[in-house]
């Protein structure tokens, strides 16, 4: 028990199976305070599934998932809501409510989950918008913003409850390389200034190496590598090497080559 209290998140022998597919097959992973853990893998490998399991949106078929001292799958609905208040989430396409202004989107968690006064909520919203350099967009609607601006707003919303953990699902999806770099730098600076732990799901190699203090790779339902970026780059695992190089030669495509040639 005492070891687990040092982890922000721990997955212990987690399996997740759907009728047509086993997505996770004995995944064990621990995330320490202030880590920026990048989880990589092919599309459909189960990276985003891990985030949903941590949030308690999905239940594991087997194994255990802890957020701090809480075992997520054993919490009552009320306790799960309390635990989620300590977890910020940045969705792949920002997931802002189109009918609300930027300021109203950010205020929503505070209105629903706290008893803060309107004046206090307004002050916190301004503070978080200032962190992401978006104060002037407070009265704008999401449709008026560029993709990069929407991502900044979703970052501000993720920080609004002062979470201990932020989950990022493909934070640079749909952004051009320059804006992706800006978002990467913002994730790093906000993580450090707000002293939060982060788990980032991505398949963008440049972003992964820029952001991560640790990197884990998911392949065929298992974590096949878990190391610092420098160690990860030097990995001798052929799957990791192929993923890093983007080569069409190697174990990742061996199963699918036969399917392609047989068509």
Domain that holds residue 99: 92-158
- Total domains in the chain come to 2
Q: Is residue 261 part of a domain?
A: no
Residues 67 and 167 in one domain: yes
Letter string b/e over residues 26-57, b meaning 16 or more CB atoms within 10 A of that residue's CB: ebebbbeeebbbbbbbbeebbbbbbbbbbbbe
User: What pairs with residue 215 in β-bridges?
Assistant: 38, 227
Q: What is the pTM of this model?
A: 0.88
Residues 107 and 225 in one domain: no
Residues 101 and 146 in one domain: yes
| Phi, psi for residue 227 in degrees, rounded to 5 | -160, 170
H-type alpha helices, the chain: 47-55, 77-84, 102-113, 118-131, 147-159, 177-194, 205-211, 229-233, 238-245, 251-262
Residues 167 and 61 in one domain: yes
pLDDT of residue 244: 86
Identify whether the C-beta of residue 96 lies closer than 8 Å to the C-beta of residue 154: yes
Q: Is residue 182 part of a domain?
A: no
| Phi, psi for residue 58 in degrees, rounded to 5 | -110, 155
pLDDT of residue 173: 80
What span, in angstroms and rounded, lies between the C-alpha atoms of 229 and 71? 29
Confidence of residue 114 (pLDDT cuts 50, 70, 90): confident
Instruction: Report the CATH number that the domain containing residue 202 is assigned in CATH.
Output: 3.40.50.300
Q: Is residue 240 part of a domain?
A: no
pLDDT tens by residue, 20-46:
888 999 999 999 999 999 999 888 888
User: What pairs with residue 30 in β-bridges?
Assistant: 10
Residues 5 and 111 in one domain: no
- How many residues in the chain? 263
What span, in angstroms and rounded, lies between the C-alpha atoms of 84 and 220? 29
Residues 150 and 204 in one domain: no
Q: Specify the 3-state DSSP secondary structure of 133.
A: coil
- The answer to whether residue 5 scores a pLDDT higher than 70 is no
Mean pLDDT of 4-17: 86
Residues contacting residue 187 through CB under 8 Å, at least 6 positions apart: 36, 155, 168, 171, 198, 200, 211
CA atoms within 13 A on the CB side of 106: 35
pLDDT tens by residue, 241-253:
888 888 888 887 7
Mean pLDDT of 63-83: 91
Identify whether the C-beta of residue 237 lies closer than 8 Å to the C-beta of residue 224: yes
Q: When comparing pLDDT for 256 and 71, which is higher?
A: 71
């Amino acid at each position: 028990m005492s070891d687990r209290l040092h982890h922000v998140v721990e997955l212990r022998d987690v399996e997740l199976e759907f009728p047509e597919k086993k997505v996770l097959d004995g995944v064990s992973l621990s995330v320490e305070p202030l880590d920026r853990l990048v989880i990589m893998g092919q599309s459909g490998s189960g990276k985003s599934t891990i985030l949903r399991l941590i949030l308690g949106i999905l239940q594991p078929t087997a194994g255990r998932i802890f957020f701090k001292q809480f075992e997520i799958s054993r919490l009552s609905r009320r306790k799960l809501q309390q635990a989620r208040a300590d977890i910020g989430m940045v969705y792949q396409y920002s997931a802002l409510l189109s009918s609300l202004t930027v300021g109203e989107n950010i205020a929503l968690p505070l209105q629903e989950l706290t008893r803060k006064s309107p004046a206090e909520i307004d002050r916190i919203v301004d503070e978080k918008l200032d962190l992401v350099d978006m104060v002037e967009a407070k009265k704008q609607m999401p449709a008026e913003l560029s993709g990069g601006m929407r991502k900044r707003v979703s970052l501000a919303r993720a920080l609004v409850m002062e979470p201990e953990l932020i989950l990022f699902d493909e934070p640079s999806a749909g952004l051009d390389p320059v804006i992706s770099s800006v978002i990467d730098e913002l994730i790093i600076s906000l993580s450090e200034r707000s002293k939060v732990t982060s788990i980032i799901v991505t398949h963008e190699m440049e972003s992964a190496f820029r952001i991560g203090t640790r990197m884990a790779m998911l392949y065929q339902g298992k974590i096949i590598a878990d190391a610092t970026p420098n160690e990860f780059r030097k990995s001798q695992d052929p799957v990791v090497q192929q993923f890093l190089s983007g080569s069409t030669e190697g174990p990742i495509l061996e199963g699918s080559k036969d399917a392609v040639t047989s068509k």
